[in-house]
Structure 1
């Protein structure tokens, strides 16, 4: 018993005619007759009484009523599999770091999911080391992150440079300067992210390059929360520029001289999964175009 045979049977019942069913299915009438004979043989019961007018047997009525939903389910499954194969349906699990999770991804996903309503997306927000492990374990399909420590099992495609600036209260002593050198952080509280954050490690490298500057620091676990702590006068912070445009009340922004204050950001996936396929591949390609426009 297959879907085409079920459809033929339902058309015979609908039109009361083998001929009409054959026309609808674009079959020869003999093909329709053989389909029904084979179906009755498989089921071991007679379904249709042939005569001047056809009618259903008791078994035929039972089979018709209960097979209608089976046909609908099979058609739905065929459509779902076809959409999955074409990349128009599926469930994509992605990981993303801040600030992209809050400042870049929502608008993109709004447009993408409007264009592809049958694609379901789950978003996990975490730091790069955690997302790297999640990708390796197959728990997410790919990640949007800073460049991780790569191995042969991973593929990273750089897309743009995340640029940084110093955010400080507008009445801060350093606000008098147009450009700040890292040595001038000494003597002022610097708000920093957690030890696992790549942005924190970047900051530490900058300070080491400037002579192992010892600082008064305050650790804030969330990258996106930093600006609010600065706004309340708790210190100054080196933050991605996207987080502070437009400006925040009571604060001001200054550039930092010396080392290039930026980090490489891109898409991370398993090397064995690259290039990504199906719905994940479609999302991956559109994200690449969108993020590269930010360069």
Structure 2
């Protein structure tokens, strides 16, 4: 079994077809088919089933794909370690994170990290919490940043900071409201929020349900930027993480509303790592930045 066979196999899975896998690797389709066939012969299993032009993993294929991704990640780690040995202070760090962290928390961290380590290459991959955990477990990222607690035997999770939820409105909208809002006042306001089914939306729905409020959602979006824009334009109010609206609060484009009946709620942002893994100097340098910024212990804990 050759490393190239695993690379080609993973490419077929990710592209969804032998033809596209051949194109992106600059190979002929028969060559791709031959490499996958050689891998199947070596492992003595069928890796794919075909339905027309579409290919689907068999249960054995799913197992092999999981291990193949880990093997390729280990090879990348080896290459990075050798590069660091040849050129101290270089290397790379791949960070996986949820979208809100990628938009509102990570930029400042990366700016400081790049100033301190200008020769280190930074890669960022975003997804939801479940996808971020999967990327970490499959070796696709070195470090993960999530907004919900993670418990897994292969993962070390270290809380970094609490991110409180706050009700926000535009200054003009807030000017027509009482300085202190009762639950009944909040219930009458138009809400702008995340789309139904999203984890964050479920959190907001639960909070409002505890308050006995059936909210009137007049707009729903799949990202915080759109929500903030509509709130700033005066279309309604929203419950948002402070990290997502801090710049707007600082600039005065949004203002916090005082709602004594709102349960104290926050999201816990954590760094997640694979347990028992040797980490490069570049990755440890990034973790040390997190330690300084949030006054936690990560490197020794891992």
Q: Report if TM-score (shorter chain) is over 0.5.
A: yes
Work out the CA distance in 1 between the residues paired with 2:249 and 2:174: 22
Q: Is there any run of 5+ residues in structure 1 with no aligned partner, and where?
A: 1-76
1:160–1:266 CA contact under 8 A, matched in 2: yes
Distance 1:108 1:193 in 2: 26
Structure number with greater Rg is: 1
Contact 1:129 1:196 in 2 (8 A): no
2-side partners of 1:79 and 1:156: how far apart?
28
Q: Where in structure 2 are the equivalents of 1:1-295 lying within 5 Å?
A: 80-82=83-85, 88-172=89-173, 176-195=177-196, 197-211=198-212, 213-217=213-217, 218-242=219-243, 243=245, 244-249=248-253, 251-257=254-260, 258-273=262-277, 276-292=279-295
CA distance in 2, matches of 1:123, 1:172: 37
Offset at residue 221 of structure 1 (A): 0.9
Equivalent-residue separation in structure 2 for 1:265 and 1:182 (angstroms):
28
* Deviation (angstroms), 1:158: 0.5
Structure 2 CA distance for aligned equivalents of residues 180 and 276 of structure 1: 50
1:189 offset after TM fit, Å?
2.2
Contact between 2:168 and 2:238, CA under 8 Å: does it hold in 1?
yes
Report if the CA contact (8 A) 1:156-1:267 is conserved: yes
**TM-score, structure 2 normalization:** 0.61
Residue 183 of structure 1 deviates from its aligned partner by 4.9
Q: Which segments of structure 1 move beyond 6 Å, counting only runs of 4 or more?
A: none
> What whole-Å deviation, never above 9, does each CA across 1:35-84 have from its counterpart, x for those lacking one?
xxxxxxxxxxxxxxxxxxxxxxxxxxxxxxxxxxxxxxxxxx99834157
In 2: Cα distance, 1:79 partner to 1:135 partner:
22
Structure-1 separation of matches of 2:294 and 2:113: 14
Instruction: Please report how far the alpha carbon of residue 90 of structure 1 lies from its aligned counterpart in structure 2 after TM superposition.
Output: 1.6
Query: 1-side partners of 2:118 and 2:170: how far apart?
Result: 44
Give TM-score, length-normalised by structure 1.
0.62
Counterparts of 1:78 and 1:280, CA distance in 2: 11
Deviation of 1:265 after TM superposition, in Å, equals 1.0
